[in-house]
Structure 1
Amino acid sequence: MATFRQRSGTWQARVRVKGFPVETKSFDSKAAAQRWAREIESSMDNGGHQHSSKGAEILLREVLQRYMEEVTPTKRGAKREAEGIAFMQRNKVASYSMAKLSPAVVATYRDHRLKTVGAGTIIRELCILSSVISHARREWSLPISNPCELVRKPATPLGRSRLLSVDEEVKLLDELKPRGRRSPWMVPLVMLALETAMRRGELLGLRWEHIDLEKQTAFLPLTKNGTVRTVPLSKRAVAILADLPRCVDGRVFQLTDMGMEAAFRKGCARAEIVNLHFHDLRHTATSRLAEKLPNVIELAAVTGHQTIQMLKRYYHPKAEALAKKLD
């Protein structure tokens, strides 16, 4: 049974049901208090209720830490998610208890972050936070609601459409040539990226036992989507691979992710190429392949996109090229 009383300008709801501890909570209006009481009574009737004090004692920082240790390592994007969680743990929002983590608190976090980062970053962080809270509810039995479900996310930004021009390609490859302490692996890596449209992780994870130069294929045992894929190789891609030395550890490219990123960034700076990310090479390669493979199903089979909608984000045809096809 629920009772309500007004105290110091707020309404306090108290729910007493035999077999359950007493639940109390204060609200700004009686209607909100009544709504909460009905939800508590309903959860008690359904057998799924847990005392809210359990959630009041646990900080978001603790839940984030447990999730990062137990759940994040099982994911393909573990490194990126761990970085996002680590940032949230350093933020003020992590000091809130799970019971006090309201939509208003999450919205304040969103607005504060929007002052320094783009909408895409905020969307990813809110998705991570929502996943953490949903997992805590399902798997760890925390009696909490998910405030992220009530928080408006920023509008999804338009995908990047930066392509590497032919002139820029010549300059970049020239600046990546092994001179002094520069890596000898960067030129073939960039060339293969432009020829195959493979992702950075797929390229750096290539192993010689998965490459068949005679059949012109490269087998990827695990991709970003969590599926296997066999990439068809052009004759130029085969020639690039054939010229590479074989290393005893079986890896095709002797580069770390951070080392490759630093070398690519420095190469772009020397070539005076601005606003170019390594992932833009995948956009460039996809647009070039589309000229050879007008069938979108065949194109998706090469690039590894699972939906046509995703493929459209990477295919950036030039208007003048399309105009010529209309003749």
Structure 2
Amino acid sequence: MASISKRGDYQYQATVRRKGFSKQCKTFETERDAKNWAKVIESEMIRGVFVDRSELERTTLGELLERYEHEVTVDKIGARQERSRIKQWKAHPLALRPLASLKAVDFSKYRSAREKEVGANTVRLELALISAMFNHAKKDWSMPVENLIKDIRAPKVPAGRERRLVGDEEKRLLEAASAARSNPHQLKTAILLAIETGLREGRLAGLQWEQIDLREGVVWVMTKDEEHKQRSVPVPLTEKAVELLRALPRDISGYVFGRAFPTAQALGNAFRRARDRAGLTNLTFHDLRHEAASRMAPRMNMPTLAKVMTWKTLQMAMRYYNPTAGELVAAVRATA
């Protein structure tokens, strides 16, 4: 049954008690609003469609992000990158809002404003984080929260990049890396390893010697399978890659690049400084992964290339394999 009690000027508390349900309370400015709310809640309980939203009313978006970071993000391969996105969200005014007050339009406005500040893919990843968090909260934590992200327009992400090293760009980039004021040998080696193996900057920066088997010629990295479970997979090393690794000094930290690049950001910053000194434009560290895939592709079939690059689908091969016109001509003539 429902009861209405006056708690002060413009404060009417409605309380609904019904067997089989937890007590529901809410305060309104008018007695009419309190009664109307109580009628709705009682009706939903009678019809068996009532959903207790009290947890959503007392939990903010920031608090849910905090829990997700500590219980879910911590076990992810890309935990460092996701923590950075969580930090961005927690600094936004939406983080102070109770979950029950959030609407799809709030995230739509966030998307539109954020697109003016950063790239579309960055916005896509930030929204994907919230979407994954809402889904996890509903399925694993039994919170009556809906995925509001699925109701808004996704950011328009540009088509896949096809930037590769052309002409003497590789030579100029390596010369600029060798001229770096700090850790020139490590930077040049990291760039060459990226071209030889296709390893991303995050994996290179966090690479430890215990992951490397120089005798077998492989690097063991963690990835996720189709069921999103982590597993260790081998990334083969070319003979040149083995030589590059053997030439690196062993640091007591156990990391391949020691203290030179403690994070992916540190390696990325060093790369960008070298790139700018070399006078190269529109080149990212990740483009070296495209370069590696495109160089390997003519020498192996696509399923093998997918295994080498740790792709889950063959469609990824088409995204990363960006042959030049000359390479396509050479491939056709090699079959003649």
Q: Is TM more than 0.5 here?
A: yes
Instruction: Work out whether residues 221 and 235 of structure 2, in 8 Å CA contact, stay in contact via their aligned partners in 1.
Output: no
2:231 aligned counterpart, secondary structure: coil
Residue 118 of structure 1 corresponds to which residue in structure 2? Answer: 119
303-312 or 256-265, which moves further after superposition?
Answer: 256-265
- 1:276 paired with 2:283, answer yes
Instruction: Work out whether residues 106 and 151 of structure 1, in 8 Å CA contact, stay in contact via their aligned partners in 2.
Output: yes
Instruction: Work out whether residues 180 and 274 of structure 2, in 8 Å CA contact, stay in contact via their aligned partners in 1.
Output: no
Instruction: Work out whether residues 77 and 222 of structure 2, in 8 Å CA contact, stay in contact via their aligned partners in 1.
Output: no
Displacement of 1:182 in angstroms is 4.1
Instruction: Work out whether residues 202 and 223 of structure 1, in 8 Å CA contact, stay in contact via their aligned partners in 2.
Output: no
Displacement of 1:267 in angstroms is 0.6
Change (3 A) 1:207 1:85: closer
Change (3 A) 1:52 1:188: closer
Residue 11 of structure 1 corresponds to which residue in structure 2? Answer: none
Residue 149 of structure 1 corresponds to which residue in structure 2? Answer: 150
Residue 61 of structure 2 corresponds to which residue in structure 1? Answer: 60
Residue 84 of structure 2 corresponds to which residue in structure 1? Answer: 83
Change (3 A) 1:53 1:238: closer
Displacement of 1:240 in angstroms is 2.0
In structure 2, what residue type is equivalent to 1:232?
P
Once the two structures are superposed, what CA deviation does each residue of 1:235-263 show, in whole Å capped at 9, x if it has no partner? 22222223333334443222322332222
Gaps of 5+ in 1: 2-13, 25-32
283-292 or 82-91, which moves further after superposition?
Answer: 82-91
Instruction: Work out whether residues 193 and 199 of structure 1, in 8 Å CA contact, stay in contact via their aligned partners in 2.
Output: yes
Instruction: Work out whether residues 219 and 237 of structure 2, in 8 Å CA contact, stay in contact via their aligned partners in 1.
Output: no
In structure 1, what residue type is equivalent to 2:146?
S
1:231 aligned counterpart, secondary structure: strand
In structure 2, what residue type is equivalent to 1:55?
L
Displacement of 1:283 in angstroms is 0.6
What is the 5 A alignment of 1:184-263? 184-215=185-216, 217-223=217-223, 226-254=230-258, 255-257=261-263, 258-263=265-270
Residue 311 of structure 2 corresponds to which residue in structure 1? Answer: 305
Once the two structures are superposed, what CA deviation does each residue of 1:180-227 show, in whole Å capped at 9, x if it has no partner? 534321112211211111222333343444434343x12314247633
2:281 aligned counterpart, secondary structure: coil
- 1:266 paired with 2:273, answer yes
Displacement of 1:164 in angstroms is 1.7
Instruction: Work out whether residues 178 and 184 of structure 1, in 8 Å CA contact, stay in contact via their aligned partners in 2.
Output: no
Q: Structure 1-normalised TM-score?
A: 0.80
Structure 1 outlier segments of 4+, above 6 Å? none
Task: Give the number of equivalent residue pairs.
Answer: 301
204-213 or 54-63, which moves further after superposition?
Answer: 204-213
Residue 41 of structure 1 corresponds to which residue in structure 2? Answer: 44
In structure 2, what residue type is equivalent to 1:90?
A
In structure 2, what residue type is equivalent to 1:283?
H
Distance 2:331 2:140 in 1: 56
Residue 292 of structure 2 corresponds to which residue in structure 1? Answer: 285
2:196 aligned counterpart, secondary structure: helix
Residue 132 of structure 2 corresponds to which residue in structure 1? Answer: 131
Displacement of 1:157 in angstroms is 2.8
Change (3 A) 1:17 1:126: same
- Aligned-pair RMSD on alpha carbons? 3.2
Displacement of 1:101 in angstroms is 0.5
In structure 2, what residue type is equivalent to 1:128?
L
Residue 7 of structure 2 corresponds to which residue in structure 1? Answer: none
Residue 164 of structure 1 corresponds to which residue in structure 2? Answer: 165
Change (3 A) 1:80 1:250: closer
In structure 2, what residue type is equivalent to 1:271?
A
Gaps of 5+ in 2: 2-13, 27-35
131-140 or 106-115, which moves further after superposition?
Answer: 131-140
Instruction: Work out whether residues 56 and 98 of structure 1, in 8 Å CA contact, stay in contact via their aligned partners in 2.
Output: yes
Instruction: Work out whether residues 23 and 52 of structure 1, in 8 Å CA contact, stay in contact via their aligned partners in 2.
Output: no
